[in-house]
Amino acid sequence: MKEVYSYSEIGTLIEQRMKTIFTRAALVRVSVMKPSGKSHTIKVSINLLIGTYSVGVFQCTYKNMLELLEAFDINENEEIFEVSSYYLRP
């Protein structure tokens, strides 16, 4: 396995059947929904984007919001959220 420092190297290495690792900044959009008013459980959809391309969507369930914050290593009083709210009717 080789770590690549120049994107021009990638094609050549892949053609040679060499496992290649490169780093690309990603954006993660997290959608959170509470499925019922009787439970603290929340359902989460995680959309992993590179540029404008969605490269993966993952579904998870957390016991509560604090557990979700811990999963993303976010302190509960950090102000890093850009929130779009949607009200879903039953």
Task: State residue 80's pLDDT score.
Answer: 65
Please check the confidence at residue 68 and state whether its pLDDT lies above 80: yes
- 3-state secondary structure at position 50: strand
12 within a domain of the structure (yes/no) = no
52 within a domain of the structure (yes/no) = yes
13 within a domain of the structure (yes/no) = no
**By residue range, what is the domain housing residue 34?**
24-76
39 within a domain of the structure (yes/no) = yes
Give the chain's length: 90
CA dihedral defined by 82, 49, 1, 73, rounded to 10 degrees? Answer: 20
Confidence category of residue 38, pLDDT binned at 50, 70, 90: confident
- The residue with greater pLDDT, 6 or 26, is 26
